[in-house]
Amino acid sequence: MFRIQAKIAPSIIEALFMIVLIIATMSLMIMKFDAPPHIPILFSILILLFYGLIKKVSFKDLETGMMEGSKAGLGAIFIFFFIGILISALMMGGTIPTLIYYGFETITPHYFFAVVFLIASLVGVAVGSSLTTTATVGVAFIGMASAMDISLAITAGAIVSGAFFGDKMSPLSDTTNLSSSIMQVDLFDHIKNMSWTTIPALVISTILFAILSPSKELKQTDAIETFQTALNSTGLIHWYSLIPLLLLVVMAIKKVPAIPTLAITSFVAVAIGLMIHSYAFADVVKILFEGFVSTTGVVDIDKLLTRGGLASMFPTIVLVLLALSMGGLLFTLGIVQAILLKVEHIFRSTGSVITGAAGTAIGINTLIGEQYLSILLTSEAFQDQFKKVGLHNKNLARVVEDAGTVVNPLVPWSVCGIFITTVLAVPTTEYFMFAFFCLLSPILTILFGWTGKTLTYLQPKK
């Protein structure tokens, strides 16, 4: 029934107790002691190992469970390596700086919130990181809004919405690659399938931000001008720097597999970088491994552009392996199965299965505050349920992004929520109701689940 067979069959009470214990342990360490998620997950693995040994499960079986769980992430890990290389290559070739530079050109005196949302979306797609987008261009927009006495809460909502649109739809995003890899769905097919819920959320959010935008004239644009001047000073802003981006889009349309696409795009970006700056081969190798280092002297720009490199993906890879190993133990010890078997009768229809998966992703975000676990555990728990109602894996990959990735910044004690509140100085509770994109995404995915629209079935519906 499940990919990893259970070695024991705990009672529902035992299973719930273990889940509550793990959630309490992780929540306490992340929220109370600001621990990086790696340590709480490792502690949870030790708790599960101890429980398994008490229940007379051999350590070999427990070890096998962890290994089987981690295998699900191997595809994502290989892609992560190439993403790290691609990001540094796109920086070296000027693709990302050029895209950001021209994005700032769209700033107008009207529709301020809508423009902030769209530019944050563009930068988010370019860099593939919601937190980097928020900490750089987001801070600049907050400064502008503060100077003009414009609502900081709505501005923050627009920034967060755009940043997480980019995090969700960028081929450079770790969450996007993780969900597609776990569900064994082609990266670009996954992004295309997400557009069914993402584009409506984008359009509705843009309209709402446009309606809320003040009519006053846009002033105090010094922060944006500083950004553009610093970007220009890098010598990386050229029209031909956008060639790798166009190549990436073309190869995605042609459905070229992710790894060849990322590798070829990286090669072209490096070639353009060599045209702009005559790097020595040793410098290129160093940048591809350690990442591109910006030296403009403008702190925010350097923070935005100092990115990439194969080594930058190591923390993410470790987190994925730990989380999947924990998931493997939860299945080996029969904990997930015990809970799902108890509520299995609820998930009989397409709508109920999608609602259940979305609710689980939201619940894990709310209780633990960690988006990776939200994606990983929901994916592992609901794969069989989706197959039973005839739904293709790409539907579950979309649901965990719609209700997992973009919900995390709405939780005040989550990793993203705490970070955003810190860098923007706007509490999560204040921007929550204005993060329209993040609020609409889970609603739309559940709505489409009940209507059956935009879903992909294992066999065509008659």
On whether residue 288 sits in a domain, the answer given is yes
On whether residue 134 sits in a domain, the answer given is yes
Q: Tally Cβ neighbours within 10 Å of residue 120.
A: 27
* Gap between the Cα atoms of 404 and 174, Å rounded: 13
On whether residue 150 sits in a domain, the answer given is yes
Q: How many domains does the chain have?
A: 1
Give the CA distances from residue 178 to residues 93, 314, 336, 393, in Å, rounded to whole numbers and listed in that order: 26, 14, 21, 13
On whether residue 13 sits in a domain, the answer given is no
* 399-448 residue pLDDT tens: 999 999 899 899 887 778 878 888 788 888 899 999 999 999 999 999 99
- 10-residue mean pLDDT profile of the chain (462 residues): values are 76 92 85 82 94 94 90 78 86 84 72 90 84 78 74 94 92 86 88 94 96 71 75 86 85 79 90 83 91 83 83 84 86 87 80 92 81 83 87 93 92 81 86 96 95 83 52
Residue 236, both tokens:
């990386």
CA angle 178, 184, 189 (to 5 degrees): 85
Contact by Cβ (8 Å): 48, 322: no
On whether residue 39 sits in a domain, the answer given is no
What is residue 1's predicted lDDT score, i.e. its pLDDT?
A: 36
On whether residue 164 sits in a domain, the answer given is yes
* Gap between the Cα atoms of 225 and 143, Å rounded: 13
**Closest Cα partner for 399 from 364, 436, 434?**
364
* Gap between the Cα atoms of 323 and 170, Å rounded: 23
Total residues belonging to the chain: 462
367: Cβ–Cβ under 8 A, 6 or more apart, which residues? 23, 27
What is residue 223's predicted lDDT score, i.e. its pLDDT?
A: 67
On whether residue 385 sits in a domain, the answer given is no
**Closest Cα partner for 196 from 459, 449, 11?**
449
For residues 381-410, b (16+ Cβ closer than 10 Å) or e, as one string?
Answer: bbbebbeebebbbbbbbbbbbbbbbbbbbb
The burial of 133, by beta-carbon neighbours within 10 Å (0-12 exposed, 13-18 middle, 19 or more buried), is given as buried
What is residue 13's predicted lDDT score, i.e. its pLDDT?
A: 93
On whether residue 361 sits in a domain, the answer given is no
Give the CA distances from residue 302 to residues 59, 144, 186, 210, 229, in Å, rounded to whole numbers and listed in that order: 48, 20, 33, 31, 13
H and E: helices and strands count for the chain: 24, 0
Domain span holding position 255: 75-313
Full-model pTM: 0.76
